[in-house]
Structure 1
Amino acid sequence: MRWGDRPAWARRTALVYVVGFLEGTGAHGYFLVTGGLRAYGYAPVLVQLLFHALLLLDPLVALLIIRARPGGPLLAAVVMLADVLGNWIVTWGAVTTRPAAFLRPVGLLPITLFGVFVLLTALPLRRALTPGGDMKDCASSRSATG
């Protein structure tokens, strides 16, 4: 399967996924280099492990999307759900005391927005990456309407 065979919306969505997950890879790599294994010492142990695991999971998702694998969007949804939950768990107390402090273009807000985007688009993107999936849906909807 080639990306050129996929609908334009799927190519644009995949590009957003790749950029987002590679940015996450860079962020987690930076935190590991500057903070070592204790970079996330403020978080519960399971969340720390998750954040370190994202250094491997984020580029894996990007690779699966680049290679147009149907499992890529599903893994992306699972990874982002875990990432968003982990970030909200860590910041919940601060968000409830100063919510406006989190309305900035770094940190919790963009992670949450990207996570919602991935969760909303994962199944349609998976269908578009499944051989014949998106084309079959288009053909069946055309025959049903006309």
Structure 2
Amino acid sequence: MWARWALAVYLIGFLEGSCVHILDVVRDGIHAYAAFPQVPLRGFFVSLAILDPLVAVLVTLVRRTGIWLAGAVMVTDVCANWWGNRHWLEDGPARLLSLSPITVFGLFVVAFLLPLQRTVAR
């Protein structure tokens, strides 16, 4: 029962991420994340318009690969957001609070990764 709830939270989080990244790319194209000076970060955030929906589909189908991909995407996404916005430490540390939702969701995904893998494997 707990696994269904955890997968539902995964699904909600990745659907929300899908909407955000797809809308950003539709609105601004490949320049959607031009505010980040690092080209690899821009490319990664644009790629989330594909990766987030892929994770959502795989999680919906209860695939182990979806759970692993969810973990990989969230670890990378959280690190990329913190790295890309590290200047906020000097400019306005309170702005870092806006990274709280993605950080909490990333911790949730990682915390449930192995338990979900074991449960889905059965």
- Give yes or no for TM over 0.5: yes
Q: Matches of residues 28-39 of structure 1 in structure 2 within 5 Å?
A: 28-39=21-32
| 1:71 equivalent in alignment to 2:61 | no
Q: Residue 71 of structure 1 contacts residue 126 of structure 1 at CA under 8 Å; is this kept in 2?
A: no
1:14 corresponds to which of 3, 7, 12: 7
Return the letter of the residue paired with 1:113: V
Question: CA separation in 2, counterparts of 1:9 and 1:25?
Answer: 24
Question: CA separation in 2, counterparts of 1:76 and 1:40?
Answer: 22
Q: Residue 18 of structure 1 contacts residue 62 of structure 1 at CA under 8 Å; is this kept in 2?
A: yes
Question: CA separation in 1, counterparts of 2:65 and 2:32?
Answer: 30
1:98 corresponds to which of 79, 84, 92: 92
TM-score by length of 1: 0.78
Equivalent in the alignment of 2:80 = 86
Return the letter of the residue paired with 1:120: A
Question: CA separation in 2, counterparts of 1:18 and 1:95?
Answer: 31
CA apart distance, 1:102: 2.9
1:48 corresponds to which of 30, 42, 51: 42
Q: Hey, which bits of structure 1, 4+ residues long, moved more than 3 A?
A: none
CA apart distance, 1:36: 1.8
Q: Deviations over 1:71-111 (max 9, x none)?
A: 211110000011111111111111344222332xxx41111
Gaps of 5+ in 2: none
Q: Residue 3 of structure 2 contacts residue 116 of structure 2 at CA under 8 Å; is this kept in 1?
A: yes
Question: CA separation in 1, counterparts of 2:22 and 2:40?
Answer: 18
Question: CA separation in 2, counterparts of 1:29 and 1:71?
Answer: 22
**Percent identity over paired residues:** 41
2:119 corresponds to which of 128, 133, 136: 128
When Rg is computed on C-alpha atoms for both structures, the one with the higher figure is 1
Q: Deviations over 1:10-34 (max 9, x none)?
A: 0000000001001000000111122
